[in-house]
Amino acid sequence: MSEWPEGGLGEMFRLIGALPEQMERSAALAGLDEIGRAGADLRRIVLCGMGGSAIAGDLVQPLLQAGRVSLTVWRDYGLPHWVDADDLVLCCSYSGNTEESLSGARRAGELGCARIAVSSGGELTALAGREHFPVVALPGGLPPRASLGFGLGALVRVLERLGVVPGGGGHIHEAAALLRGLDAARRDPMAAPAAGVEDGAGNPSPADLATILAGRVPVIYTAGLEAHAAGLRLKAQLNENSKMPACLAAFPELDHNDLVGWALAPEQRERFVLIILRGPDDNERTAPRVEITRDLLWDEFADVHEIRAAGETPLARVMSLVQYGDYLSCHLAHRNGVDPVPVDRISKLKTALG
C-alpha cells in the first residue's frame, strides 16, 4: 500500500497517519490559555463523554498513577451520584451536541462544579458561553474517532495546566515521535520501521493480522493498565471502521469468568481469534496469569496473537497500541470491502431519538 487507497478507506488511513501531528498541534488549541492551576484541594476529576470523545480519559490513566488526583470517565447521562461542588467536570463532546455529555455539563452546573469543555462547537460551546466556563476548541469536520490526536492532546495539556500531569507536553512529544517512526511499517506492510525504532516484541504487521482476522471474530484480552485503555479503543475501531463485532475482557477479571466460557465445538473454533494486548505488567502476578491462560485456551481459537507495546514512556506505549489497532481496523475494512468512515446505524439512531 505504497499509495493511499481511494475514497473513505484512503481518508481514514490518512487520518490515522495524522495522529502524531494532531497530538503536537494540540499545543496551539484556542482556550488552553484560560486554564489555570487547580487548587490544592482538588482530588477528583470527572470526564463526561461518549465514544471517541471519551476514550482520551482512559488513555491518560497511566499518567495519573503517581499523583493525588483521580480521573473518572463517565459514559452516561448526568453525573455519578457522589459528585459534588469540589469536583472538576471535563465536558467532552467533539460535535458539541452529544446529549449524554450535555446532560453531564448541565448537571455539573446545578451542583456548582468547576467545568471545562473540550469541543469543536455545537450546543456545548454555546452553553459554555452562556454559563461562563472555558472551552478548548478542537478543529471541526472530522469523524470524532479520527480526532483522537486533538482530543487526547487537549486533555493532556489541560491536565498539565491544572498541575495534575507535570511535563504533559513532553509526554506528547515522545509519543508522537514514536508513532512517526512506526507509521510506515504499520500502514504499508512492505515498509520497514524507521531506523532505531522497534515495533514491540515481534508483533505481526497489522495487515498480516487483518488477513488472519478476516471473516472471524476478534476476542481481545488486555493485560496491564496501559493495555486496558488501548483495548477499549481497538474494540470501538473494529466496530466502527471494520464494521465487525469484537469481544473484550481484561486480566485479571477474565480469569474469574471469561476463561471458562471458551468451550466450543471444534467446528466453531475457527470463527474466533484471540488477541492479547500487553503493556508493562502492573503486578508481578500478571505475567504468569497471561501465560497460563493463553496455554489453557490455545486450542479453543483458530489463532492466538500477543501484541506488545513499544516505547519508553507510558503515553508512548499506550499510543503505540492505539496506532497498531487503528491501522488494523483499516486493513480489516479493506479486507471486508467496507468504507470505514460512515456509521449509518449511529446516524439512524440519533435521527430516531430526535
Percent of the chain, pLDDT > 90?
Answer: 92
**Considering the entire predicted model, what is its pTM?**
0.95
Tell me the per-residue pLDDT of 251-269, one tens digit each, with 9 for 90 and over: 999 999 999 999 999 999 9
Query: Can you list the alpha helix ranges (DSSP code H) found in the chain?
Result: 7-17, 19-25, 55-59, 99-111, 122-131, 148-162, 168-187, 206-213, 225-240, 258-261, 266-269, 286-297, 314-336, 344-353
pLDDT of residue 68: 95
pLDDT of residue 3: 59
116/32 Cα distance (integer angstroms): 10
Q: CB within 8 A of 175, min separation 6: which ones? A: 20, 23, 311, 313, 315, 316, 318, 319
Tell me the per-residue pLDDT of 14-55, one tens digit each, with 9 for 90 and over: 999 999 999 999 999 999 999 999 999 999 999 999 999 999
Quick check: 192 pLDDT over 70? no
90/33 Cα distance (integer angstroms): 16
* Torsion angle of the four alpha carbons 137, 141, 144, 146, in this order, in degrees rounded to the nearest 10: -110
pLDDT grade, residue 202 (50/70/90)? confident
Percent of the chain, pLDDT > 70?
Answer: 95
Tell me the per-residue pLDDT of 314-332, one tens digit each, with 9 for 90 and over: 999 999 999 999 999 999 9
CB 74 within 8 A of CB 46: yes
> Among 65, 11, 54, which Cα is nearest to 151's?
54
Q: Residue 48: beta bridge partners?
A: 74, 91
Tell me the per-residue pLDDT of 207-234, one tens digit each, with 9 for 90 and over: 999 999 999 999 999 999 999 999 999 9
CB 83 within 8 A of CB 89: yes
Q: What is the CA radius of gyration of the chain?
A: 20
254/232 Cα distance (integer angstroms): 15
Calculate the CA 266 to chain-centre distance: 34
